Structure 1
Amino acid sequence: MKIQILFLLLLISVMGCKNKEEVAYVPLNYESDPCIDCATVAIAIFEFNKETDLGIAVNTALRKEIVRQLNFEGNAENASIEEAIAAFKKEFQDLRDMYPEESIDWEAIIKSEITYENKDVLTIQLDTYIFTGGAHGHSTLRFLNFNKKKNELFENWELFKEIDDFEHFAETKFKIQEDIPQNSEINSTGFMFEGERFYLPNNLGFTKKGVQLIYNQYEIASYADGPIFMTLPYTEIESFLSVKILPKSL
Structure 2
Amino acid sequence: MELNSLIKGKVTGHVVNSRKDFLDLNGSIINLDYIGPDWYHDISYSPNLISKSVISINANNYNFTGGAHGNSHITGLNYHLDPLFIINIEELFSYKDHDNVLAFLSSYCHEELKKIYIDWLDIDTTSEEFNPDTIFWEGSLTPEWKNFSNYFISKNGLEIIFNTYSVSSYAFGLHIIPIHYEQFIKVIEDTEQIQSLIEKLK
Rate the CA distance shift 1:115–1:163 in 2: closer, same or farther, 3 A: farther
Equivalent residue number for residue 172 of structure 2: 225
> Out of 8, 12, 32, which is 1:67 matched to?
12
What is the SS of the residue equivalent to 1:245? helix
Equivalent residue number for residue 117 of structure 1: 50
- TM-score under structure 1 normalisation? 0.57
> Out of 139, 160, 165, which is 1:194 matched to?
139
Q: Does 1:241 align with 2:194?
A: yes
Rate the CA distance shift 1:193–1:64 in 2: closer, same or farther, 3 A: farther
1:107-136 deviation line (CA, Å, top 9, x unaligned): 122222211232331111111211111211
Structure 2 CA distance for aligned equivalents of residues 179 and 219 of structure 1: 14
Tell me the CA shift for residue 192 of structure 1: 0.4
Equivalent residue number for residue 15 of structure 1: none
What is the SS of the residue equivalent to 2:197? coil
What is the SS of the residue equivalent to 1:141? strand
Equivalent residue number for residue 7 of structure 1: none
CA contact 1:124–1:144 (8 Å) conserved in 2: yes
Provide structure 2 residue ranges, at least 5 long, that are not aligned to the other structure: 116-124, 126-130, 186-190
Amino acid at match of 1:156: I
> Out of 85, 109, 123, which is 1:152 matched to?
85
Q: How many residues align?
A: 173
Equivalent residue number for residue 169 of structure 1: 104
Q: Does 1:204 align with 2:121?
A: no
What is the SS of the residue equivalent to 2:4? helix
CA RMSD of aligned residues (A): 3.5
Tell me the CA shift for residue 104 of structure 1: 4.0
Amino acid at match of 1:234: Y
The sequence identity of aligned pairs, in percent, is: 22
Structure 2 CA distance for aligned equivalents of residues 208 and 128 of structure 1: 24
Tell me the CA shift for residue 155 of structure 1: 2.7
What is the SS of the residue equivalent to 2:13? helix
Rate the CA distance shift 1:221–1:111 in 2: closer, same or farther, 3 A: same
- TM-score under structure 2 normalisation? 0.69
Rate the CA distance shift 1:123–1:192 in 2: closer, same or farther, 3 A: same
What is the SS of the residue equivalent to 1:194? coil
Structure 1 CA distance for aligned equivalents of residues 141 and 198 of structure 2: 33
Equivalent residue number for residue 135 of structure 1: 68
Equivalent residue number for residue 126 of structure 1: 59
